[in-house]
Amino acid sequence: MKHFFGGASRRRKRENPNRPQRGADLRLDIEVEFREAIFGAEKEVEVNHLENCLDCNGTGAKKGSKMITCNTCGGIGQVQQTQRTLFGSFTQVTICPRCNGEGKWPEEKCKTCRGNGKVNKTKKIKIKIPAGVDTGAKLRVPNEGDAGLNGGPNGDLYVVLHVLNDKEGIYERKGNDIYMELPLSYYQVALGDEVEVQLLDEKTKINIPPGTQPGKIITLKGKGVPILGTDGIRRGDFHIVINIIVPKKVSSEEEKLLRELASISKGSIPKRKEENSFLNILKHALHMDK
C-alpha cells in the first residue's frame, strides 16, 4: 500500500496515465483441516475479484459509443497548477480530477459495469495444498487477483492457510512433529506390554518395557508430518507420551487382589530415578508447548 500511495503521484508526472497497469494482489484466508495440511489436498476456494467487463472489453464504453476527449486536461490526463508564495511560484502537475487521469471518457457508459470497465465477480478456483503446510503458509495463485488497467496484467491471489487442530484431539502437532498420549494401566507399565498404536497413516506395535514411568516419551523417527517440499520422503517424528490411568472404580475382585498386593509391598514406596521426577516431567511438558 505504501508503495502505491508513495510512488504513484510522482511517477505519474512523466508517465502516460493510459499506460497498462497491473491489477491489485488479493489475499484470501482459508481454514485447512488437520489431515489436509499433513497429507496435502485439493480444495475449491471462492475468490471475489475484479474482472474485465466482457460487454465492453474493459473500456467502460457502451458498444459503438464515441470517446470524448476531456476538455479540462485536453486529453493528457494531467493538469498543471501554479501556486504563488513569498518564495516564488511553484508549478505542480497533478492527475486531472475531471477524467481521473484517463484523458477521455465514453459518450455512453457500458450498462453492465457502469463505465468502470470492471465487474466484481466471485470465482471458484481449485488450489492444491502441498503436504506438510502449516498455519501462515501462503500459496500464490497467479493471475487471480484483480484485473489490470488498460490491458495490464492481472494481480495475483495469495491464499493464506490456517491449519485446524485434530478434531478428535488425539494428535497434537508442533511443526513437523506429532505428539500423542498413550494411556496405559498400572499393570501394563509395571509388567511391560506390547501395544498397537494408530499413527497418522499406519498402525504399529510398540514395546512397553517393564517399569515404564508416566511421562516417558517413545519417539518414532520419521513417522511425523511430511516435510514441505520433500514429496513426503522426509518426515518429522512421532512422539508417544505414556500416561498411566488410575481406575476410578474397581470391581470387588480387583479390590481384593489390590489389597493383597498392597499388603505384600507395604512400606516399600519405590524411588523414582532423577530423570523421571515429577519436576522433570513438568519441564518436558513445558518444552512441548514451545
Q: Least Å distance between CB 83 and Zn ion? A: 20
Instruction: Identify which of 269, 272, 289, 268 has the alpha carbon closest to the alpha carbon of residue 280.
Output: 272
Please tell me the distance from the alpha carbon of residue 78 to that of residue 87, in angstroms, as a whole number.
25
Q: Least Å distance between CB 56 and Zn ion? A: 3
Determine if 12 is a binding residue for Zn ion (CB under 5 A). Answer: no
52 versus 212: smaller Cβ distance to Zn ion:
52
102 versus 156: smaller Cβ distance to Zn ion:
102
- What Rg, from alpha-carbon coordinates, does the chain have? 34
112 versus 176: smaller Cβ distance to Zn ion:
112
Residue 166 is placed in which grid cell?
485434530
C-alpha triplet 253, 258, 259: angle, nearest 5°: 100
Site for Zn ion in 109-148 (CB under 5 A): 110, 112-113
100 versus 230: smaller Cβ distance to Zn ion:
100
Q: Choose the stretch contacting Zn ion; rule: CB under 5 A; options: 2-10, 89-97, 151-159, 195-203.
A: 89-97
DSSP reduced 3-state for 255: helix
Number of residues that bind Zn ion (CB under 5 A): 12
| Maximum CA extent, the chain | 106
With a CB cutoff of 8 Å and minimum separation 6, the contacts of 231 are: 131
* Given 72, 143, 185, 219, the residue binding Zn ion (CB under 5 A): 72
Determine if 149 is a binding residue for Zn ion (CB under 5 A). Answer: no
Query: What counts of helices (H) and strands (E) characterise the chain?
Result: 5, 15
Q: Choose the stretch contacting Zn ion; rule: CB under 5 A; options: 31-39, 70-78, 155-163, 206-214.
A: 70-78
Backbone angles phi, psi at 83, to 5 degrees: -115, 135
22 versus 98: smaller Cβ distance to Zn ion:
98
Please tell me the distance from the alpha carbon of residue 108 to that of residue 63, in angstroms, as a whole number.
9
68 versus 182: smaller Cβ distance to Zn ion:
68
43 versus 62: smaller Cβ distance to Zn ion:
62
- Residue 131 and residue 233 in contact, taking contact as beta carbons nearer than 8 Å: no
Q: Least Å distance between CB 123 and Zn ion? A: 18
Long-range contacts of 196-199 (CB under 8 A, 24+ apart): 197/240, 198/170, 199/223, 199/238
Q: Least Å distance between CB 11 and Zn ion? A: 18
* Given 33, 51, 55, 177, the residue binding Zn ion (CB under 5 A): 55
114 versus 259: smaller Cβ distance to Zn ion:
114
Please tell me the distance from the alpha carbon of residue 203 to that of residue 102, in angstroms, as a whole number.
66
* Given 12, 35, 43, 98, the residue binding Zn ion (CB under 5 A): 98
Determine if 178 is a binding residue for Zn ion (CB under 5 A). Answer: no
101: alpha, beta or left? (left if phi > 0; alpha if psi -120 to 50): left
Q: Least Å distance between CB 61 and Zn ion? A: 8
Binding site for Zn ion (CB under 5 A): 53, 55-56, 70, 72-73, 96, 98-99, 110, 112-113
